[in-house]
Structure 1
Amino acid sequence: MNESRQLDLFIDAPPPEPTTPRPPARREPRASRGDATVPTVRPQSLASGTRWREVRASTQSIGFVLKRSRRKSIGLTINDDGLLVTAPNWVTLAQIDEVVIEKSNWILDKLSAWYDRRAQLAMADTHWQDGGSVPYMGRRIVLRLGDTLGRTRLLGAEFEPRDGDVLSLALPRDADHARIRDAAHAWLQQQARTWFEQRLLHFLSAQGLQLRRWRLSSAATRWGSCNSDGNIMLNWRLIHFERDIIDYVVAHEIAHLREMNHSKDFWREVGRILPGFERARDALRQHDPATLPLI
């Protein structure tokens, strides 16, 4: 049986000696919350069919977005807006509050980790509103709303953006922040798909290689991967970074088509495909996919 083996691109540096086994990375425990209060902030705006609610747990108040649905049980999710509670229409508010209180330790731990990540986000200072800005290919472009008759488009060179270029979203000016975020994310993913494919074809052609297939991913732990079947995945969030960093990840995964390991031969192959890749690798090493926005 042919077992498909997948290699992940993490932010670790290559091993200095491939013949020496590396010990597993030691995970440092996250500091305890202690008596610190975890903020639960009402979102900039609420989507249709949702409401904001707060409940007092044993240690602090917990605010959350409540959404009614046809599901059969109460669901708790941490997303870009904090805590989302989805509950059946027949469940009372008292029952919902009881579940939140019962799960408060879990909720506060998850929210604490979520806020820790947001403190390092590439988009931490993004406000999903008219005039907000978002990182795109190493530059910050500005969101503009109001052109509801047009389509979402960048007013500038699509793949050579400049700071301050305008991303015109086909949304009314009073659109809520969730719609703005979703529209911007959809456009970023579309751009990622187009640009990544161009770069894949460029490097594959130069190396005389063929790719079975590739696709975008939204993995929270890796920027790219390649398995032994020759399939490549590239994290769409790379579109936030400059082109040199994108090229490094593409070259890294293409190198795995010849070297399914991280040996000296592998890194030599990366250097052959993309000379001087080290600068981009070192820059990317400072970023963890988990610290970038969810979609």
Structure 2
Amino acid sequence: MAMRQLVLDLFGVAPAAHPSEEKTPPALAEQTQAATQSIANEPAVLLNDALAPAHFAHPRANRAIHFAHARVHYEFRRGQRRTIGFTVGAEGLSVRAPRWTPVHEVEAALREKERWIVAKLGEARERHQRIESNRIEWKPGATLPFLGQSVTLVLDPRQRHGRGGAVLVESDADAPDAPDAPDAPRLALHVGLPHTATPEQWRDTTQAWLMRQARRVFTARLDHFAPQLGVRWQRMSLSSAGTRWGSASADGSIRLNWRLIHFRESVIDYVVVHELAHLREMNHSPRFWQHVESVLPDYAERRGQLRDEAVPRW
């Protein structure tokens, strides 16, 4: 009887009323009794069994582990290291272990970090879904983020000759001809293309403009923070790395991902300071983070924003 009641509760069907308490019209009562009998004859299904476990698969997975509520196919490598290391990235879970570590010890370490691993994989999947939902459709009226603000693409053939084929226009909310709608675009990138322009032309022209802005903004921020850290940078180049926002070399060379231009300046500043701090410490030791914190006391919050916010899918 207890199991029957559980099944009825799950399906939202009330148990048949006692004859002395019956107030339902006969036709409806017969239907209720028939439905109750049909459900009672079905095999009971536990709620945990009805929920399929989550499945995560790294594209280069060569091992798998079954957790309580997730199946994880991960990339496993051995190397010259002393400890077992886990990395959860856009592709999934990667595990590194010393050459001498038995597999059962690796799996024990994974199970010990099960909640953390599954949570991070879930966050990575959600972030990927947000990126996919932000995929840009390259045509007039498309929007994309620039320094944390939404910019609308506008076809303007007048810009074809000069200013690199595009110019950013900010509407004046107080102007007589300003849009009345509160959600009307305030920033518009006027792109100098013909009416017959292809999506590829829209993309390439917009990217060229964004990269010019990235070089300008990144150079200014490097010049601003380098003296505060007591370092001198020698050369800055833009990268298109898929998983790294920046890098630094001992010779003073800094590489920054041009897609950072999508983020707010506060987030860009975190990456800039991070790479400049590597000119003091080429590692991630406590002393390195002390250098970062000396310039950006709230660096942890900015790092979280960099991790959580999704750039548009190109």
Q: Give yes or no for the alignment of 1:136 onto 2:146.
A: yes
- 1:12 is matched with none
Instruction: Kindly state the Cα deviation for residue 123 of structure 1 after the two structures are TM-superposed.
Output: 7.3
Is structure 2 residue 141 aligned with structure 1 residue 119? no
Deviations 1:81-113 (A, max 9, x none): xxxxxxxxxxxxxxxxxxxxxxxxxxxxxxxxx
Structure 2: distance between partners of 1:278 and 1:30: 23
Of the three residues 134, 143, 168, the one matched with 1:154 is: 168
Which residue of 2 is the match for residue 97 of structure 1? none
For 1:142 and 1:120, how far apart are their aligned partners in 2? 19
Q: Conserved in 2, the CA contact under 8 Å of 1:237 and 1:292?
A: no
For residues 175 and 116 of structure 1, the distance between their equivalents in structure 2, rounded to whole angstroms, comes to 34
C-alpha distance in structure 2 between counterparts of 1:181 and 1:118, whole Å: 21
How is 1:1-295 mapped onto 2 (pairs within 5 angstroms)? 23-26=84-87, 119-121=129-131, 124-148=134-158, 149-150=160-161, 151-156=165-170, 164-286=186-308, 293=313
1:96 paired residue number: none
Matches of 1:117 and 1:277, distance apart in 2: 21
- TM-superposed CA distance for 1:22, in Å, is 6.3
**Structure number with larger C-alpha Rg:** 2
Q: Relative CO higher for 1 or 2, CA cutoff 8 Å, sep ≥ 6? A: 1
Amino acid in the other structure paired with 1:246: I
Alpha-carbon offset, residue 122 of structure 1: 7.5
Deviation at 1:117, TM superposition (A): 8.4
Does structure 2 conserve the Cα–Cα contact (< 8 Å) formed by 1:121 and 1:292?
yes
**Identity of counterpart residues, as a percentage?**
39
Count of matched residue positions in the alignment of Structure 1 and Structure 2: 185
Gaps in structure 1 of 5+ consecutive residues: 1-20, 32-114
Structure 2: gaps (5+ residues): 1-81, 94-124, 172-183
SS at match of 2:254: strand
The answer on whether the counterparts of 1:126 and 1:134 sit within 8 Å (CA) in structure 2 is yes
| SS in structure 1 of the partner of residue 223 of structure 2 | helix
Q: TM-score, structure 1 length as denominator?
A: 0.56
In the alignment, residue 147 of structure 2 is paired with which amino acid? M
TM-score (norm 2): 0.53
